[in-house]
Amino acid sequence: MERLNLDSLRTIDSIVDRHRGEPGPVIVMLHDVQDSLGYVPFEAMEKIAAATGTSVADVYGVVCFYAQFTTSPKGKHVINICLGTACYVKGAQALIDETVTLTGAEINKTSEDGIFSLDATRCLGACGLAPVCIIDGKVFGNCTKETIVAEINKIRAAEKMA
């Protein structure tokens, strides 16, 4: 694991300062760090623990309790596929298999080129639209293999242009 750069450390500091003294600040701080940096680095846990009077082990306990927090950096584009009961029954596993093949990212991991992360999520609460996936924050209901292929191709094309 590498040490964090100065910019990220500053980001963490400002998040911690913003929520210092709030009730139940640990989880709020963790959310903001996850959103800003794409993951929760160890340094963030240390700073949050120090600011809230808890131990690093406790903060880490929260991080690994919730599947939405990650401790390693995410790819540039995040694909969430719901594996809740309804989505699974409606074929979410096939969508996951397809995504693994297309992106090279294993489940809950990031592709080697750092472009894609694939997360199998718990129920997203949109069972009526099953199977559901979220690509870069955009929700796709009644998702099919074709949707996945099209979206991934779009991202690849945009990455090539950049």
Partner 1 sequence: MTAVHLRINNVNVTAESGMTVLEAARSAGINIPTLCYLKDINRSGNCRVCLVEVKNGRTLLSACTTPVSEGMEVFTNSERAMRGRRNTLSLIMSNHNKNCLSCKRNQNCELQKLCEDHGIRDNKFEGEHTEASYDDFSYGIVRDTSKCVLCERCVETCRKVQGLGVLGLENRGFKTIVAPVYNKSFADVNCMQCGQCVINCPVGALTEKENITEVVAALNNPDKVVIVQTAPAVRASLGEEFGNPIGTRVTGKMVAALHRCGFDRVYDTNFGADLTIMEEGNELLERIKNGGTLPMFTSCSPGWIRYIEYEYPELLPHLSTSKSPHMMFGAIVKTYWAKKHNVDPKDIYVVSIMPCIAKKSEIQRPENKTGNYVDVDAVLTTRELGRLIKLYGIEFNELPDEEFDSDLLGDYTGAAVIFGATGGVMEAALRAVKQQLEGKKLEQVDFTACRGMAGVKEAEVDLAGTKIWIAITSSMSAAKPLLEEVKAGTSKYTFIEVMGCPGGCINGGGQSIIPSKVKNGKIGYGYKELRMSALYDEDKACDLRVSSDNVQIQQLYRDFLEKPGSEIAEELLHTSYSPKEKFHIFD
Question: Footprint of partner 1 on this chain (CB under 8 A)?
Answer: 1-3, 42, 45-46, 54-58, 60-61, 64-65, 71
In angstroms, give the least distance from the CB of 4 to partner 1: 10
In angstroms, give the least distance from the CB of 51 to partner 1: 15
Q: What is the 3-state secondary structure (H, E, C) of the chain?
A: CCCCCHHHHHHHHHHHHHHCCCCCHHHHHHHHHHHHHCCCCHHHHHHHHHHHCCCHHHHHHHHHHCCCCCCCCCCCEEEEEECCHHHHHCCHHHHHHHHHHHHCCCECEECCCCCEEEEEECCCCCHHHCCCEEECCEEECCCCHHHHHHHHHHHHHHHHHC
Which C-beta is closer to partner 1: that of 61 or that of 114?
A: 61
Which C-beta is closer to partner 1: that of 56 or that of 127?
A: 56
Which C-beta is closer to partner 1: that of 120 or that of 152?
A: 120
